[in-house]
């Protein structure tokens, strides 16, 4: 059968993830040090796993409310208020989702009519552009620059706005660059969103993982006039090392949550109950474990930034997440060539910057959620590789 005629055009138009392509090459190779997968190397803290086990022991194996367990939504509303200084009504303005991934998908589907434009800053997380396209929107990338620490500048956003612009997607701290946004820039961005009546999808999944603690994390939802036009997305995968639990959430005004719920209730029904039980424990008692993991990532970030700059690959010190994004342009190799050669010659896997959009050309994403010992070894190998170029 000719399946090209069976697959929806919208889906067929979306390319495979560059990360997936690259990791298919890595699979099956012995002894590779991976700076690739954007996932904590920590196992979920024991007390959180215990809460999941206990919930199973108690026989909690049913569906929950479509929106999520009320107790979890109450914990989320408290946590979000503490972290972002924005108040949400626990029972009507919080939706528990299957990871932030689901929240991104249903938020876009809830907001977009065919042809609506969605602006996002690039390099960015691999799912953004495909999710926009699969929701029948038009993806509009705004390039961010190394000289701006890869943060989105209001002037760059202003130049991308058209009468068809409907949504702005933000992600600070950013995957893959670790970029953060200043209050001043966010205020400029907020002003434009209000002026042009844009909704904002703010993916703040890395917000606990910030290392320059004199720098505040400002959620755009907390700025005047923005709560009503923002969908704040957050989850458990990164800070709590809970990727496999598949749990996230969206906070937004009730009509928006209602629209997202229409999709969620028919496609997911609800997030897994044992994950939701564990998440309550994470929010209520997980802070010390998060702090310990953050301290560890902080040391690793400093090591990588130092070593990369010493070997001549310019690398800004990112404020958050667990990625560094060194500039490899001096080597004369493209991102893909650099990553392939590094893998073949030294057995170190890092992701070409182009996996995160065309503006990632000339850069490499190295994830430092791996042990200090492996990071030191990876840096020694990379230094030897760069030295030979």
Please report where in the chains the tokens 């997968």 appear, as a residue.
37
Question: Judging by beta carbons within 10 Å of its beta carbon (0-12, 13-18, 19+), is residue 38 exposed, middle or buried?
Answer: buried
Q: Which residues contact 115 (CB under 8 A, 6 or more apart)?
A: 136, 137, 138, 164
175 touching ligand PLP, by CB under 6 A: yes
Site stretch for ligand PLP (CB under 6 A), options 13-21, 52-60, 97-105, 369-377: 97-105
Q: Which is nearer to ligand PLP, 121 or 307 (CB)?
A: 121
Single residue of 237, 275, 276, 296 touching ligand PLP by CB under 6 A: 237
320 touching ligand PLP, by CB under 6 A: no
Question: Judging by beta carbons within 10 Å of its beta carbon (0-12, 13-18, 19+), is residue 9 exposed, middle or buried?
Answer: exposed
125 touching ligand PLP, by CB under 6 A: yes
Number of residues that bind ligand PLP (CB under 6 A): 13
Single residue of 165, 171, 177, 222 touching ligand PLP by CB under 6 A: 171
Between CA 182 and CA 152 the distance in angstroms is 10
Single residue of 248, 286, 326, 360 touching ligand PLP by CB under 6 A: 248
Looking at beta carbons, which residue is closest to ligand PLP? 99
Site stretch for ligand PLP (CB under 6 A), options 59-67, 94-102, 110-118, 374-382: 94-102
Whether 386 and 311 have beta carbons less than 8 Å apart is answered as yes
C-alpha pair distances (Å), 295 with each of 64, 181, 210, 363, 369: 35, 21, 10, 26, 12
Please report where in the chains the tokens 């660059």 appear, as a residue.
177
Q: Which is nearer to ligand PLP, 275 or 346 (CB)?
A: 275
Tell me the residue ranges of DSSP E strands in the chain: 33-34, 94-97, 117-122, 138-143, 165-171, 199-203, 230-235, 248-251, 323-324, 348-349, 351-352, 364-367
Between CA 167 and CA 169 the distance in angstroms is 7
205 touching ligand PLP, by CB under 6 A: yes
Single residue of 18, 36, 38, 352 touching ligand PLP by CB under 6 A: 38
Site stretch for ligand PLP (CB under 6 A), options 14-22, 93-101, 275-283, 307-315: 93-101
Whether 192 and 198 have beta carbons less than 8 Å apart is answered as yes
101 touching ligand PLP, by CB under 6 A: yes
Q: Which is nearer to ligand PLP, 231 or 386 (CB)?
A: 231
Q: Which is nearer to ligand PLP, 100 or 308 (CB)?
A: 100
Single residue of 93, 117, 203, 281 touching ligand PLP by CB under 6 A: 203
243 touching ligand PLP, by CB under 6 A: yes
Q: Which is nearer to ligand PLP, 322 or 385 (CB)?
A: 322
DSSP 302: H
Site stretch for ligand PLP (CB under 6 A), options 70-78, 98-106, 156-164, 210-218: 98-106
Between CA 142 and CA 184 the distance in angstroms is 19
Binding site for ligand PLP (CB under 6 A): 38, 99-101, 125, 171, 175, 203, 205, 235, 237, 243, 248
């Amino acid at each position: 059968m000719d399946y090209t005629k069976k697959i929806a055009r919208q889906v067929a138009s979306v390319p495979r993830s560059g990360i997936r392509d690259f990791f298919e090459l890595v699979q099956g190779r012995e002894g590779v040090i991976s700076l690739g997968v954007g996932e904590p190397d920590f196992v979920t803290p024991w007390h959180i796993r215990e809460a999941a086990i206990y919930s199973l022991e108690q026989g909690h194996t049913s569906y929950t409310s479509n929106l999520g367990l009320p107790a979890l939504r109450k914990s989320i509303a408290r946590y979000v208020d503490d972290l972002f200084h924005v108040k949400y009504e626990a029972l009507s303005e919080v939706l528990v989702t299957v990871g932030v991934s689901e929240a991104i998908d249903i938020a876009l589907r809830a907001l977009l009519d065919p042809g609506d434009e969605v602006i996002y800053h690039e390099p960015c997380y691999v799912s953004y552009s495909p999710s926009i396209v699969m929701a029948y929107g038009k993806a509009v990338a705004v390039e961010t620059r190394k000289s701006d620490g890869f943060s989105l500048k209001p002037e760059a956003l202003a130049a991308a706005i058209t009468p068809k612009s409907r949504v702005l997607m933000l992600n600070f701290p950013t995957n893959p660059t670790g970029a953060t946004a200043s209050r001043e820039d966010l205020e400029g961005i907020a002003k434009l969103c209000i002026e042009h009546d844009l909704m904002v999808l703010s993916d703040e999944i890395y917000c606990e993982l910030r290392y320059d603690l004199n720098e505040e994390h400002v959620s755009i939802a907390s700025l005047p006039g923005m709560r009503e036009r923002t969908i704040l997305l957050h989850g458990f995968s990164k800070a709590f090392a809970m990727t496999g639990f598949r749990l996230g959430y969206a906070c937004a005004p009730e009509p928006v949550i209602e629209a997202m719920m229409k999709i969620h209730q028919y496609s997911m029904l609800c997030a897994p109950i044992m994950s939701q039980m564990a998440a309550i424990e994470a929010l209520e008692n997980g802070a010390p474990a998060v702090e310990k993991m953050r301290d560890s990532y902080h040391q690793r970030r400093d090591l990588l930034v130092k070593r990369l700059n010493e070997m001549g690959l310019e690398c800004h010190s990112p404020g958050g997440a667990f990625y560094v994004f060194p500039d490899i342009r001096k080597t004369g190799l493209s991102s893909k060539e650099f990553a392939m050669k590094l893998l073949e010659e030294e057995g170190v896997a890092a992701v070409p910057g182009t996996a995160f959009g065309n503006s990632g050309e000339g850069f490499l994403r190295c994830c430092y959620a791996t042990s200090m010992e492996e990071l030191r070894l990876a840096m020694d190998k990379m230094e030897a590789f760069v030295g030979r170029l």
